[in-house]
A and B are shown apart, each in its own frame.
Chain A
């Protein structure tokens, strides 16, 4: 079984175990959580292995830092690197295009402006 499939199965079980959780930790190596529903600033983030306070509003499908992350740190999701931090973020903060960038090809907005 691949690491990815193992991660999926663990996570599937985790979600089945509790409807209280609002975030999922997809892989042991991950330093972020993924929200399974909208979370408001100050609300308690609950994932299988623990809980913490959300530092800001974060939408479903978006990422929250599981640890303090510094500029240049790699971010891991599914146990795989998904880019590098461009700014620091504290545990419980939103990890997205304002502080994380691709190690491959950058993304763009609706005006065609690139976020390299």
Chain B
């Protein structure tokens, strides 16, 4: 099954979509950027952006990773004019990647109405100029991320292990698979570190989870929403054990931080908790903050498991919704790509895992997911700070050096 076609980018990566990203560089340019996207009325024109006015290395790195993501074919930057964001640096980086890119500065372009008009014209032109050729794409060129949101007591026995089965199959085919949110893996550090391909990586994984626990304790709240308890989950470690099963049973090949692209096929843990003393608040204020970070690592597709029933999608990369709870599926079936809740009435886990795997390949081949069709393009990016990963985090890459 390799009828996949990808948009070939200058860095050798291939995209499964050819999105035009309209990016506001401060909240003050958000409205104008949104109006441009709305006026474009195109499922492949997406709104992204960063709200802050202060400089931040992480947010620049993330915006650059997103604007040069393989699913992105062209970029329009929308600046107010006085914010700190390095707009010229980003414009240059996108152009260097071979993508068409334009910058509009509202203070120079004549205000709201004029910038919306110019921006809408620019997007139409970017669509024409975004002519990356399509080439055959292999499964081992796919990067797939997973996240759970609105988990309940069924998540850990249906949707999450079914995604784990799909991950195992993708990794057998040498695809790259990412799981994340160390704050929702608290309690799993011992079994997880034992799956690392080297003891040094195991130690890095353990310390990443310990960092998460420390961070959340200072924040005063664990990553556990009231809806989790409504759905039968009682403790953070119970939620963690269920979330952990999304990772499947492959060895863990590396530990990444947001914006790090996996160096080859295998299973990777993404550490999303900032380094150093807590400065900017909660590590991930909602599910889409984690999805954006997975996408910044190059994820083409996100497998999103939910028990209570999340409806979100994402800008840039399609989201496949895997519903854990059969009752939720009945209520929200128009939002759910997969009904994993039927595992509770006897459908084998493997069968649902296969279905997710097939759907992942169909999505990569261009088929739209339900959240894509519904126009879900949620996006959120806030302040953070990270130290680069150490050499023990990617043992295979370190050995190849």
Q: How far is the CA of A97 from the CA of B233 in the complex (A)?
A: 8
Q: List 20 A-B contacts (CB under 8 A).
A: A8-B349, A12-B349, A15-B343, A19-B345, A36-B344, A60-B232, A61-B153, A61-B231, A62-B232, A78-B241, A80-B187, A82-B187, A97-B234, A101-B234, A102-B234, A105-B221, A106-B222, A107-B222, A108-B224, A109-B229
A91: interface (CB < 8 Å): no
Q: Which of B41-49, B85-93, B154-162, B288-296 contacts A (4 or more CB under 8 A)?
A: B154-162
Q: How far is the CA of A15 from the CA of B348 in the complex (A)?
A: 8
CB distance B237 to A62 under 8 Å? no
A40: interface (CB < 8 Å): no
Beyond A1-B249, A78-B156, whether A102 also contacts B232 by CB under 8 A is no
- Within 242-257 of B, Cβ neighbours of A (below 8 Å) are at 242, 244-245, 249
CB distance B232 to A2 under 8 Å? no
**Cross-chain contact of A101 among B235, B307, B347, B350 (Cβ < 8 A):** B235
Interfacial chain A residues near B325, Cβ < 8 Å: 60-61
Interface size class of A (residues with CB under 8 A): 35 or more
Q: B interface vs A, CB < 8 Å? A: 152-157, 161, 164, 186-188, 191, 195, 213, 216-217, 220-222, 224, 226, 228-229, 231-238, 241-242, 244-245, 249, 307, 325-327, 343-350
Interfacial chain B residues near A59, Cβ < 8 Å: 232
CB distance A107 to B213 under 8 Å? no
Interfacial chain B residues near A100, Cβ < 8 Å: 234-235
Q: Give the most central of B153, B186, B216: most A CB within 10 Å.
A: B153
**Cross-chain contact of B157 among A24, A96, A110 (Cβ < 8 A):** A24
A63: interface (CB < 8 Å): yes
Interfacial chain A residues near B350, Cβ < 8 Å: 12
In the complex, how many angstroms separate the beta carbon of A106 from the nearest chain B beta carbon? 7
**Cross-chain contact of B241 among A11, A15, A80, A103 (Cβ < 8 A):** A80
CB distance B154 to A83 under 8 Å? no
Beyond A8-B245, A16-B348, A60-B153, whether A77 also contacts B238 by CB under 8 A is yes
